[in-house]
Amino acid sequence: MKKGLFITFEGGEACGKSTQIKLLKDYIASRPDKEDFVFIREPGGTKLGENIRELLLNYEEDSPTPKSELLLFLASRAQLFEKVILPALNEGKTVIADRFFDSTVAYQGFARNILNADEILDLHKIILGNFKPDLTFYLKISPEEAFKRKAVFPTLDRMEKENMDFHQKVFEGYNYLSKIDDKRYVVLDATLPINIIHEMIINKIKEKLK
């Protein structure tokens, strides 16, 4: 049975997930129990998953239809869940993920409107049963604010090239999820300074690990 803690980071483009995860990694590296933490990213995190990630984000020749996109995300997630996440949790490790199924609800559910949120959550039962993260850090920022940060980026991937309406729906998706699942959700104001957000995250994780 699962013993470890599963923590996810969620939010739209450029909300600061990777920035915070990097700082968290540095903090964890200073802990004597650093071996008990595993970091993963989605899509990806396994050999198969990293190949699927390339297909999802950068494959221009025959870009996936919305339904193929949804199922590719789920294929990557199934591989990661069975091969990495569950074994690590069963060993009592803490697993920290850059995105998980909430991203699919927000992007493929709310923004692409392929299925509604409940249908997407139901689809995940094939892979996850009733499994959920113990803690989800939602870095909340409007897409307008977040994209001011992107202005300095030289290249954008396929998701990032979607229009503002798309990203607004992603934002609404996360806001919905944070309301229906408020026990596991920790909503953080992603416009705060990076180090302040980092402190909040560390304090919450320490509290959960006790």
Ligand X SMILES: Nc1ncnc2c1ncn2[C@@H]1O[C@H](COP(=O)(O)OP(=O)(O)OP(=O)(O)O)[C@@H](O)[C@H]1O
Instruction: Give least dist CB 129 to ligand X, A.
Output: 27
Pairing of strands 37-41, 94-98: parallel
Among ligand X, Mg ion, none, residue 14 binds (CB under 5-8 Å by kind): ligand X
- In the shown chain, the binding pattern of residues 17 to 46 toward Mg ion, with x for contact by CB under 5 A and - for none, equals xx----------------------------
Among ligand X, Mg ion, none, residue 15 binds (CB under 5-8 Å by kind): ligand X
Select the residue interacting with ligand X from 5, 6, 10, 14 (CB under 6 A). 14
Among ligand X, Mg ion, none, residue 13 binds (CB under 5-8 Å by kind): ligand X
Report residue 166: phi and psi, to 5°.
Answer: -55, -50
Instruction: Give least dist CB 42 to ligand X, A.
Output: 10
Only one of the segments 9-17, 23-31, 108-116, 122-130 lies at the binding site for ligand X (rule: CB under 6 A); that segment is: 9-17
Only one of the segments 43-51, 109-117, 180-188, 190-198 lies at the binding site for ligand X (rule: CB under 6 A); that segment is: 190-198
CA-CA distance, 79 to 44, in Å (whole number)? Answer: 9
